[in-house]
Every structure is written in structure tokens, then in C-alpha cells.
Amino acid sequence: MTELPFKLCLITNRHLIKNKPLIEICQSVLEGGVDCILLREPDLNPKTLCYIGKQFRMLASRYNAKLIVKDRVDVAQVIEADGVHLSADSIPPEDVRKIWNGLVGYSAHSIEEIKALENSVDYFFLSPIFHTKSKPMSKPLGVDYLRNAINISQKVIYPLGGITPDKVKEIKRAGALGLVVMSAFYNTSDPKGLAKEFLKELEG
């Protein structure tokens, strides 16, 4: 398996936040041990995304964490991000590699996708593993499916979707070395404490 790029990643989604600035929540989870932020705000124009991205770059660097940008290679270059994260509708990874030397990740929803892109990316997100409110119509893949995906791939596969601290042991038994969280961090009054709880389960 390739080297683990990060252990615990937060995906940004300012639309899920009720009463705090996004950057404040991100600082809290970084203080709790999150070591990667995926900047995913698809409705923002490039200028605004760059402005926000520069703030996140400084914040992530302060905590020695990685900053990854969803889709926008141009923004990633401008703010000197550590990686770009792609999906089925993105520029193909092999084309991104022509203009980008950092990490390249991919959001997969099947083992077939992972097999097809095994040699093109550095890591995968696989989702949804459990039921998640952010995608209520998507059928969960389940832990056994995650285990099978991890067993067939030489790349790091991060589970995503409906993950709470009480489910971490289960995904660890499936072979996961890290994980990705979105909604859980926006549904708690203590993001820092939740990050510590995730890491305690992950490292225990």
C-alpha cells in the first residue's frame, strides 16, 4: 500500500453550518488533530474560492495539516494547496497530472471505479459506507464492501459517509487506516472534542 497521505480529513460544507464561521470550525477540528482539510465549496466563484483558500492555506500550515481543493486545479495552484480531489465529472486524473505535481485523490462509489483509476491517483474516498443524511437516496455500500475494496487496491482507501466514532472500530477491522468526515463535525457543539474522539478510536 502507498504511504498514508493523512489520517483524518474534514470536508468543508458551509451550508451545513448553523451559527459559526466555517474557518472557526476548521480551526477547532485542526486543534483536535484533524490533519487534512478538503476545501469543497462548488457554488463559489474562483475569485472567492481563492480568497477563502488562502486563509485555509495559512490555517492548515499552522497545524502542519494538508489542504486539498475539490476540482479546481487552478485554485489549488494559486493558493499552493497540497492536493486536488476529483470525481466522475472532473477533469480526468491523467490530464490533471500534466499540470499538477501534488496529491491527486478521487471520490469513488464502486470497486470498478477504483480498479479503473488505480494507477492514476494517490488515494480514494469510497462512499457512502453507512447511511448519510447528506445523500439520503444513496444505498450504503457497507463495511464488507469497504473491506473488499481495500483488499484489491494498492492505494489508500478512505471510507466516507455516515461515520461516527462508534463505527470506527468496525471500519478499522475492514482495513481502513484513515477516514473522512463531513456532517458529524457540523452537527456537534464541540468539533475539537469530536476530532479527538475520532482519533482516539482510530489509533486505539
Q: What is the rounded distance in angstroms from the CA atom of residue 1 to the CA atom of residue 162?
A: 25
Which residues, 6+ apart, have CB-to-CB distance to 95 below 8 Å? none
Binding residue per annotation — 32? no
Binding residue per annotation — 162? yes
The three three-digit cell numbers of residue 16, written as one number:
451545513
Q: What angle do CA 126, 15, 164 make, to 5 degrees?
A: 45
**Around 159, how many Cα atoms within 13 Å sit in the side-chain half-sphere?**
33
Question: Collapsing DSSP states into helix, strand and coil, what is residue 175?
Answer: coil
Binding residue per annotation — 107? yes
Q: What is the rounded distance in angstroms from the CA atom of residue 71 to the CA atom of residue 149?
A: 24
Q: What is the rounded distance in angstroms from the CA atom of residue 14 to the CA atom of residue 68?
A: 16
Beta strands 103-108 and 83-86 are parallel
**Binding site members for Mg(2+):** 71
Residues belonging to the binding site are: 71, 107, 132-135, 162
